Amino acid sequence: MRIAVTYENEQVFQHFGHTEQFKIYETLENNLIDSKIVSTNGQGHESLAGFLKNHNVEILICGGIGGGAINALSEAGIKYYGGVTGNADQAVKAFLEGHLEYNPDVRCSHHDHEEGHDCSSGEHSCGSDGHSCGDKSTDLKNQKFTLVK
């Protein structure tokens, strides 16, 4: 299974549509086999779903994400886990161990904000309390996963 994480400076980047890199992890039977950092080459928002599909990604871990991108991921057959913060490697490890904290209802609705708005700025985090992306988290510990080859 291939897992992609929006990536910047070893952290989960907080705006899917503006990510310049993904870290893609190759796993087998919930064990990490390999990882690599790939550039999006300036692609953004909905076109990133096709980019991930072309890299055979099945799972996306990200911070904030908008409705259009969510729809594009769904059409591409990619399951996403949004509202995740922190170290990218640790997020993948938590996912593989079944305890990734994420927000199943995360939605970035701030695409019409003022010019110059940057989701990765210190103003807010796309998964934080009081922000339009939501503040719920879910623990995967009791969920079952099927390995897809």
The domain that holds 127 is classified in CATH as 3.30.420.130
The pLDDT of residue 112 is above 50: no
Range of the domain at 114: 2-139
Q: What is the mean pLDDT of residues 131-135?
A: 37
Residue 80 in any domain: the answer is yes
- Cα dist from 58 to 116, 122, 128, whole Å: 32, 30, 26
Q: Which of 81, 76, 86 is nearest to 48 (CA)?
A: 76
Domain contains 146: no
The answer to whether residue 149 scores a pLDDT higher than 80 is no
| pTM, entire model | 0.73
pLDDT for 104? 84
Q: Which tens digit of pLDDT belongs to each residue from 21-68?
A: 999 999 999 999 999 999 998 776 558 999 999 999 999 999 999 888
**Residue 25: which of 9, 6, 44 has the closest Cα?**
6
Assess whether pLDDT exceeds 80 at residue 79.
yes
Question: Which pLDDT does position 144 carry in this prediction?
Answer: 40
Does residue 35 sit within a domain?
yes
Q: How many domains does the chain have?
A: 1
Residue 144 falls inside a structural domain: no
Give CA–CA dist 73/97, Å, rounded: 23
pLDDT at 106 (0 to 100): 80
Alpha helices in the chain (DSSP H): 47-54, 67-76, 88-97
The two tokens of residue 4 are 């992609």
Q: What is the C-alpha end-to-end distance of the chain, expressed in Å?
A: 6
pLDDT confidence bin for 105, thresholds 50/70/90? confident
| Domain-located, residue 95 | yes
Q: Which amino acid is at 19?
A: T
Q: Who wins on pLDDT, 107 or 71? A: 71
Let me know: does 110 contact 18? Beta carbons within 8 Å: no
